[in-house]
Amino acid sequence: MKQDKINIRNLSLKEIKKALSEMGEKPFRGTQIYEWLWQKDAHTFEDMTNLSISLREKIDAHFYIDHIELKDQQISSDKTIKCAFSVDENKVIEGVLIPTSSRTTACISSQIGCSLACKFCATGKLKLMRNLSAGEIVDQVVYLRDQAVNRYKTNLSNIVYMGMGEPLLNYNNMLRSIDRITSEDGLGISPKRITVSTAGIAKMIKKLGDDEVKFNLALSLHAANDRKRSEIMEINDSNNIDALREALVYFHAKTGTRVTFEYIIFKDFNDSLEDAQELAAFAKCVPCKINIIEYNPIDDGIFQQTTKAKTDAFAKYLEDRNIIVHVRRSRGKDIDAACGQLANKNDAILKSDRAMKS
C-alpha cells in the first residue's frame, strides 16, 4: 500500500544513500536513483534500467515516487498553453506556459486550491486541499519545459510561482523544489530566472531574508492603502501595509534583491492618479519595479477591466517619478489561463475524467 511507503523524492541524496546502505546495497546506487528521479524524470522504479530487477523490487517495497499526470491541455490563440494535472487521482492543479518574443515562462502552482480567498482570483474561490510536494512542483516545470522545447523549439527562460496557491504557506516544499530546479544535479536553471509571488505574509518574507534566498520576490499588492487592500485581500487584515513595508526592507537588506510589486488595475477601484500616488510612495521603501497587470474577469463579475487610457496614465505617473514600470497585457484569456483565472474549469475536467472512467 502506498500509505505504508516513503515518498523517495522527499529524501536528500545523503538520505537515499543511507537507506540503500541499510538494505545492504552500495551507496553509489543511491546516486543512480537520484539521477533517475531528478535528471531523467523517472515516474516508476521500473524506469531505472541500470538497476537490477531485484534492486528495483527491493526499493519499490519501501518507497514510492510521487508524480503528476496530464489530464487536459488547451492552447490559446496567442500560443499560451494551459495544462491541467491530476494529483491524488481526484484533484487538479494547473500550470501555464507563456511564450513571448523575448522569453518563455512557466507559471506553476504550489498548492491544490488556496486558503487566502482574494476576491479577484478564481483560485481563491476554491478550498485549500493540500500543499504540493517538491516533486509535484518540479514535475510541472519539467512538463512545461518539454512543451517549450518540443512545440516551440525554445528553452524555458523563466519560472514564476504564480499559479494556484500561496508559495510562502508551503515554504519548505517551495524551497526544496527550487533547490532541485536550480541544482546542477537537478534542472540547472539559474535562481535569478525564478520569481516567487506572495500575497503578503510578513513573517515569511522576513524568513526568506534570513535564508538569504537567491531567487526573486514579487508581492501581489494591488492597493497601497489598508482600506482598499483589505477590501479585496483578507490577508491584509493580519499583514497590513506597514508590516509588509517593514518585511520588505528587511528582505532587501538581507538579500540585496530588487522586489517586484504586482498591481492588478481595476476599473474605478484602484486606477486613479491618487492610487498611483499612494503606490509611488509605498514603492520608495525598497529598490523595486512595478508590474501593472491587466485585470482578467472571472465568473462573478465583481470587478471590471479599466480602460487603456487610464492604465497608460497610471503607468506614466509612476515613470515620471523614476520608477521602473511594465504594463502586462493578458495572455491566454481565451482558455482561462490568464492571471487570476486558474481553476475556473477544474470541476469540468474532473467530471469529464470520471465520466470516461465509468
Q: Is pLDDT above 90 for 121?
A: no
* Contact indicator for 144, 104 with CB cutoff of 8 Å: no
Task: Please tell me the CATH code under which domain 2-64 is placed.
Answer: 1.10.150.530
Question: How far apart are the C-alpha atoms of 28 and 16, rounded to whole Å?
Answer: 10
CA distance linking residue 347 with residue 265, whole number of Å: 28
Q: What are phi and psi of 32, to 5 degrees?
A: -60, -45
pLDDT value at 118 more than 90: no
Average pLDDT estimate for 11-21: 95
DSSP string computed for 127-152: PP-EEPPHHHHHHHHHHHHHHHHHHH
Domain boundaries, given as residue ranges, for the chain: 2-64, 67-189+347-358, 199-330
- Write out pLDDT tens, residues 218-248: 999 999 999 999 999 999 999 999 999 999 9
Would you say the C-alpha torsion 341, 161, 91, 357 has a positive or negative sign? positive
Rounded Cα gap, residues 249 and 74, in angstroms: 40
CATH number of 199-330: 3.20.20.70
67-189+347-358 folds as: TIM Barrel (3.20.20)
Q: With 50 as the cut, is the pLDDT of residue 348 above it?
A: no
Q: Do 286 and 317 touch, CB atoms closer than 8 A?
A: no
CB 220 within 8 A of CB 199: yes
Annotated catalytic residues are 94, 339
pTM, to two decimals = 0.90
Neighbours of 347 (CB within 10 A): 11
Equal fold, 67-189+347-358 vs 199-330: yes
